[in-house]
Amino acid sequence: MANDPQVNVQVGRLLRANTRACVAGCLPSQNFPPFGSLVSIDLGQEISAYGLVSDIHIDDDGLVRQLVTTPNISETVIQDNRVNRNVPVELSVLFVGHRSAGVISHRLPPRPPLSLDRVRACGEGDVCAFTSAGSLGYLRFILEAQDLPAADLLAAHLLQAGRAQRDHGDEQWFARAIDKVITQLRDDYVRLMPVLEALADVQRELGI
């Protein structure tokens, strides 16, 4: 069930948020969603926020600091530390749109989620629905984000979305996305070229 790509799976709960981004905490055992993948957070009143996993960080705690220098750590100790840790794994999420009364829009959610709201990884169906709505306007959030590895975030996202779209029969989606990226960045040669090179890898991986 946890691995079924068609359904949304809860992966954690909200730690903190602002209008543009939020951070969720989850246990490593919860099989947290990969970098660049789409997640959604139910805000109540038929509104949910969509975001991309833009960073994953694993903070240390006192115990790890002690263990790290121990010469021979047993496998059970390692597993125990990972599963029962005090500090959660933190997922940073960059908001890219929302759904309100069933309508998807590529604008920021009207308000950020609240603490402990559930964060779910989107299944392929949801990924397709979100990425096909409108005309790829949400890519601007990725390209405009500061302090993020935009090229890699974009590549990771387009790999997930491109695969979902391909498997749902839209082979052209990926090219449309690239076209959009070029439109957004064509005035910045120095930025665009490395992004396209990263996307060339994705294309090869997708085999389309």
Please name which of 181, 161, 156 lies closest in space to residue 171, comparing C-alpha atoms: 161
Task: Between 167 and 179, name the residue whose CB sits nearer to another protein.
Answer: 179
- Two structure tokens written together for 202: 């994705």
Residues 6+ apart with CB under 8 A from 182: 192, 196
Contact predicate 110/47, CB 8 Å? yes
Contact 199, 180 (CB under 8 A): no
- The conformation of residue 30, written as its DSSP 8-state character, comes to G
Q: Is 187 in the site for another protein (CB under 8 A)?
A: yes
Q: Check binding of 178 to another protein (CB under 8 A).
A: yes
- Nearest-approach distance from CB 95 to another protein, in angstroms: 28
Interaction between residue 175 and another protein (CB under 8 A) = yes
CA distance 197 to 99: 32
**Interface with another protein, residue 204, by CB under 8 A:** yes
Per DSSP, 197 falls in state H
Give 59 or 179: the residue with its C-beta nearer to another protein: 179
Query: Is 199 an interacting residue with respect to another protein (CB under 8 A)?
Result: yes
183 near another protein (CB under 8 A): yes
State the number of CA atoms in the 13 A half-sphere of 60 facing the CB.
Answer: 7
For residue 143, state whether it binds another protein (rule: CB under 8 A): no
* Nearer residue to another protein within complex by CB, 73 or 200: 200
Pick the piece of the chain touching another protein (CB under 8 A) from 2-10, 40-48, 110-118, 181-189: 181-189
Is residue 200 a contact residue for another protein (CB under 8 A)? yes
Q: Which residues of the chain form contacts with another protein (CB under 8 A)?
A: 175, 178-179, 182-183, 186-187, 189, 193, 196-197, 199-200, 203-204
